[in-house]
Amino acid sequence: MIEFEGVTKVYPGGTTAVDDLSLSIPDNAITVFVGPSGCGKTTSLRMINRMVDATSGTIRLDGEDIRSLDVVKLRRGIGYVIQHAGLFRHRTVVDNVATVPVLSGVSRREARSHARELLERVGLDPALGDRYPAQLSGGQQQRVGVARALAADPPVMLMDEPFSAVDAVVRQSLQQEFLRLQQDLGKTIVLVTHDIDEAVKLGDQVAVFGEGGRLAQLAPPEELLAAPADDFVARLVGRDRGFRGLSFATAGEVAVEPVDTAVDGLVLELDGEGRPQGWKSSQGTLPTEGTWTVSDNLRTVADLAILSPAGAAVRVDADGRADGVVRHAALAEHIRRHQVARLGGDA
Ligand code: ADP
Ligand code: MG
């Protein structure tokens, strides 16, 4: 666990970058620091591995004041990933990943072979290991940066805008793989981003930083969307936070109607295996616009219901066979009960 207690950073010149920050970062979870540019996220992150020293206050790692720890030893247990990956341009990809293990005494041969495994782990073809960073795409470089930070197997990872420099499509797949990787590794991760959607998607808890380096709110993402602490946080989380909040609610309990129910004259057409083909109308067959399963979330179901020409979202089982439909009205009522329950009421 990492604890900030009354931590302030005033840079020479007088800028207060971080103002009296107190928060706990639990082990084996992702804590996201989010907020507009200049509000002290990077400074807070870099104080954890002492690349920046706090002006006052205390940071503890597993109960020990980090000022009492040897800096080299402290950093050995903390991986660090930055925007644009920060790779060494004149070293091959494999040697980039192997650098820290070699410095700490692992043989070059062993470090390189482990590096190739790590490349695979972060979703890269190990054959790319012989290239130089400039010969990779931005997304691939970012993956190498993650592999390099993982090379020493540190329990803690600090990640500063690791996915910000790539386009939206690549970012989505990097985020997805990052979450999968974290499921396996269970590291203690602190990730900085200015993107609230990324924060909500990746964070187990989210710390919202406001102007002057003050902590505006610390909460799990669903709570951030449901109950922003003040106007600043509400503006940051933005519009349709209600709709976005539905992504944290499972669709498992949504009651469905039988698939042969006619919905406004439209009937679900199935193939021989029972897989949905579309909505049959007098004008022909209209697309279902997708299907959902019990493991999806309410946002997905609501989106499908909105897109559906029948105003009904089609549920399928693990084999892709239609096993129910839910209409707008029933879904709306389910969501209402969900919100009441969430607020602690009796629906
Ligand atoms: P963020 O990562 O949220 O964009 P930073 O932690 O980088 O914010 O910066 C917080 C504030 O501290 C900003 O006003 C920035 O200009 C200032 N700052 C950051 N680094 C330095 C530095 N080395 N010297 C002086 N001021 C700095
Ligand atoms: Mg920053």
**Model confidence pLDDT, tens digit, residues 276-295:** 999 998 889 999 999 999 99
**Nearest CA, atom 21, ligand 1:** 11
Q: Bigger pLDDT: 191 or 104?
A: 191
Model confidence at 50, pLDDT cuts 50, 70, 90, reads: very high
CA–CA distance, 299 with 246 (Å, rounded to integer): 5
Q: Bigger pLDDT: 106 or 192?
A: 192
Per-residue pLDDT at 84 exceeds 80:
no
Locate the ligand 1 atom nearest the alpha carbon of residue 37 and give its number.
Answer: 4
Per-residue pLDDT at 347 exceeds 70:
no
Low-confidence winner among 159-168, 178-187, 196-205 (lowest mean pLDDT)? 159-168
CA–CA distance, 40 with 175 (Å, rounded to integer): 23
CA–CA distance, 82 with 94 (Å, rounded to integer): 18
Q: What is the pLDDT of residue 281?
A: 87
Task: Give the chain's mean pLDDT.
Answer: 93
Query: Looking at residues 157-173, what average pLDDT do you find?
Result: 88
Domain spanning 2-240, CATH architecture: 3-Layer(aba) Sandwich (3.40)
CA–CA distance, 188 with 48 (Å, rounded to integer): 12
Ligand 1 centroid distance, CA of 137 (Å): 29
Task: Indicate where the chain has its CATH 3.10.580.10 domain(s).
Answer: 267-342
Query: Looking at residues 117-132, what average pLDDT do you find?
Result: 92
Model confidence at 341, pLDDT cuts 50, 70, 90, reads: confident
Per-residue pLDDT at 85 exceeds 90:
no
Neighbours of 176 (CB within 10 A): 12
CA–CA distance, 225 with 130 (Å, rounded to integer): 44
Q: What is the pLDDT of residue 265?
A: 84
pTM for this predicted structure? 0.86
What is residue 205's DSSP assignment? Answer: E
Ligand 2 centroid distance, CA of 54 (Å): 16
**Nearest CA, atom 7, ligand 1:** 42
Model confidence at 65, pLDDT cuts 50, 70, 90, reads: very high
What 326-329 contacts at long range (C-beta under 8 Å, 24+ apart), as own/partner pairs, is 326/254, 326/255, 326/256, 326/257, 326/301, 327/257, 327/263
Please work out whether the CB of residue 38 comes within 6 Å of at least one atom of ligand 1.
Answer: yes
Query: Looking at residues 289-306, what average pLDDT do you find?
Result: 95
Question: Which phi and psi angles does 121 have, rounded to 5°?
Answer: -60, -40
Closest CA to 67 of 76, 78, 75, 58: 58
Exposure string for 2-18, b = 16+ CB within 10 A, e = fewer: bbbeebbbeeeeeebbb
Please work out whether the CB of residue 274 comes within 6 Å of at least one atom of ligand 1.
Answer: no
Model confidence at 122, pLDDT cuts 50, 70, 90, reads: confident
Q: What is the pLDDT of residue 138?
A: 86
Q: How far is CA 235 from the centre of its chain?
A: 20
Q: What is the pLDDT of residue 241?
A: 87
Task: Indicate where the chain has its CATH 3.40.50.300 domain(s).
Answer: 2-240
Please work out whether the CB of residue 41 comes within 6 Å of at least one atom of ligand 1.
Answer: yes
Residue partners of 120: CB distance under 8 A and separation at least 6: 126
Q: How far is CA 95 from the centre of its chain?
A: 28
Q: How far is CA 33 from the centre of its chain?
A: 12
Closest CA to 159 of 100, 217, 78, 99: 78
Ligand 2 centroid distance, CA of 46 (Å): 10
Please work out whether the CB of residue 17 comes within 6 Å of at least one atom of ligand 1.
Answer: yes
Which CATH number does 267-342 carry? 3.10.580.10
